[in-house]
Amino acid sequence: MAALLDEALACLARGCSILPVHAGNDRDKDPHSALLIRTGYHRPDPENPARLRASWKPLQTAAPSAEAVTAWFANTQNVGMALVTGRISGRIVIDFDGDEGRAYAHSLGIRPHVRTGGGYHWHLQAPDWRVGNLVGKSTYGAPDCVDVRGDGGNAILPPTVTRKGPYVYLRDPADLDTLDDLPLTLREALRLVPPLPAPPPMTGPLPRGDDRYPSGRILDWALQKVQDGTLGGRNDTGYHLAWALYNNGYSHAEVLQVGQTYVSQVGHQHPDGRGAPYTLDEYRASMRTAYTAPRGEPWGYGTTDARSTPQTATQALEDVYAQLPPEDQTRAAHLVAREWAATGRPIEDTIRYLRLIGHVAAPKTARAAYVAHERREAMPGSLDAFLRARRVRYGRST
């Protein structure tokens, strides 16, 4: 057990958080409740406040003390050690499971850090954004043999010995690789790309023009309608707001700017104090519907058909394209063009759509994608994986 304690203290010195786990028994790899409770890592049992339940959640935000680690690993049998993964330890772990996982790791040319009882663990530097835990078998588009241990997760460390065998270091655990060492398509499949940032709030005066009805007046009208409820609520009123602005000659960017002010005024809660917040995504959905609706008088009453979330990947891309960094804008546009080429969509449709979302190189991107399709080049991923990796919600199942 001295080797286990020595390695545990070395982990602390590397800036990692760890926890004790069962090893070599029927609770293999589960957090070791007795040891955690003994060192103060517990909470009241909600069903019986007189009892305590072990909790390793505090270890996800603060590493244990050397005293706690010594108590865990000094004289205990059937105990192992796990790394608390994520930003707390500065590393995430990619788990290549079983024979299939080992073969897949070899095909990628990676150098794993740990040989597990049945596969490999590869340690990567944790990014400065939250990485979720992912099970490949239950994640659409991800390899079945690959899991991700991120924030709020844990991964067994050497020299733990489980019923499947010992965990052994294959390389220096301080020598971390980075996410860039993973192919981009696999990063997207495993949701290992940064989420989209929230759009910055619009500042400055609302848009206006000498030949247009003042947008501030249209916004005031919409806010009053929310108060009196005559248009059916915030979502319906948001649609009418966007429709009236389009009727008055305002651009997409200007309609969105007014909408952000509208959401900031009415989005926190329903006027009666109940209900979920009204979001900018809901207003964007109303913008799409209002833009394609028949035009009428600025203060008319159109047909409401707003959606709370986009229903297709291309609708979702319309909403978030402006938030993407330039390299991601180019990649997203190419993915759309490749997929539309594969389905036989005319290239003119593709160019028109790319121009709609604001892609300045629409003709060039479309032509390159259609040529790649004719040459039967491999698809460079999918728009679905691209969006879901960036936590963009769309469709009935999201």
Compute the average pLDDT of residues 84-111: 96
Question: In whole numbers, what is the pLDDT of the chain averaged over residues?
Answer: 87
Distant-in-sequence, close-in-space partners of 101: CB < 8 Å, separation ≥ 6: 95, 119, 120, 145, 146
Q: Is the pLDDT of residue 221 over 90?
A: no
Estimate the crossing angle of helix 234-247 against helix 280-292, to 10 degrees. 50
Q: Around 282, how many Cα atoms within 13 Å sit in the side-chain half-sphere?
A: 18
pTM reported for the whole predicted model: 0.71
- Residue 6, SS3 per DSSP: helix
pLDDT digits (tens, 9 = 90+) for 246-305: 888 889 999 999 999 899 888 775 555 555 788 998 999 899 888 887 776 554 333 333
Transcribe 249-285 into DSSP letters: T--HHHHHHHHHHHHHHH-SS-TTS-SPPP-HHHHHH
Report which of residues 139 and 273 the model is more confident about.
139
Domain boundaries, the chain: 2-189, 195-306, 313-389
Distance CA 234, CA 232 (A): 7
CA proximity to 11, closest of 76, 94, 96, 68: 68
In contact, 226 and 269? CB cutoff 8 Å = no
**Which ranges in the chain belong to alpha helices (H)?**
2-13, 33-38, 66-73, 98-108, 184-189, 215-228, 234-247, 252-266, 280-292, 313-320, 326-342, 347-357, 362-374, 383-389
pLDDT digits (tens, 9 = 90+) for 185-212: 999 999 999 988 765 555 566 776 666 7
CA dist 121 to 54, 81, 92, 190, 340, Å? 26, 14, 10, 15, 38
Q: Is the pLDDT of residue 60 over 90?
A: yes
What pLDDT score was predicted for residue 83?
97
